[in-house]
Amino acid sequence: MSTDPWPSEWLRGVLDVCVLAVLAEGATYGYAISARLDEVGLGAVKGGTLYPLLVRLEQADLVTTQWRPGVGGPGRKYFALTPAGRAELARRGSAWRAFAGLTVGIIDPAAPPVAATPAAPPASDRLPTPRRTAR
């Protein structure tokens, strides 16, 4: 797990599309989303940041929720992507790739250009490549 998160102002812009990308892998629950984001290098996103974001995604009909019973407690709340959520992921994903390519081009003009694609890539390519490892 990474312990040195990216600047919060960067995360603020990209977190929702990353959460949508995690959910594109399949329905899952709060901590699993957080752990997956940490695993791919985004850092440990705390519950206090994650759940309000999930509420906004749910209110925008991008995700649906379902409580699944647990042993001796209220169980787990699972979040799943809706068709509108998949469409939003494709749209935002495409926009982010274009933006990231533009940014890289500005910072490092010698780097090969990153092309923006209009359609969503395969699920395995949707998450950023892990950049940070456990310390």
Partner 1 sequence: MTDTQANAATIPQRWRDELVLALRMRDVPGPRIGEILAEVDEYCADSGLDAETAFGTPTAYAESVAAADGRTRPGVREDLRTTGRTLVGFLGLVVVMACVVDDGPDLAITVGWLVGLAVVLVGSVLTVRTLGYLAAEGWRGMVGVAAVIAATLATVVAVGVLLTTTVATVPDTVAVTFGAVLLVGDAVVGTVRARHRPTADVVSAPGEDPERVRRRNVRADTLAAWLLPAFAVVGVGVLLGMNLLLDRLA
The binding site for partner 1 (CB under 8 A) comprises 29-32, 34, 46-48, 50-53, 55-56, 59, 67, 69-70, 73-77
Q: Which is nearer to partner 1, 69 or 122 (CB)?
A: 69
Q: Which is nearer to partner 1, 2 or 120 (CB)?
A: 2
Residue 74: CB minimum distance to partner 1, A: 4
> What does the alpha-carbon distance between residue 47 and residue 30 come to, in Å, rounded to a whole number?
7
Residue 19: CB minimum distance to partner 1, A: 13
Secondary structure tally for the chain: helices H, strands E: 4, 3
> What does the alpha-carbon distance between residue 123 and residue 100 come to, in Å, rounded to a whole number?
19
Q: Which is nearer to partner 1, 7 or 70 (CB)?
A: 70
Residue 82: Cβ within 10 Å count: 16
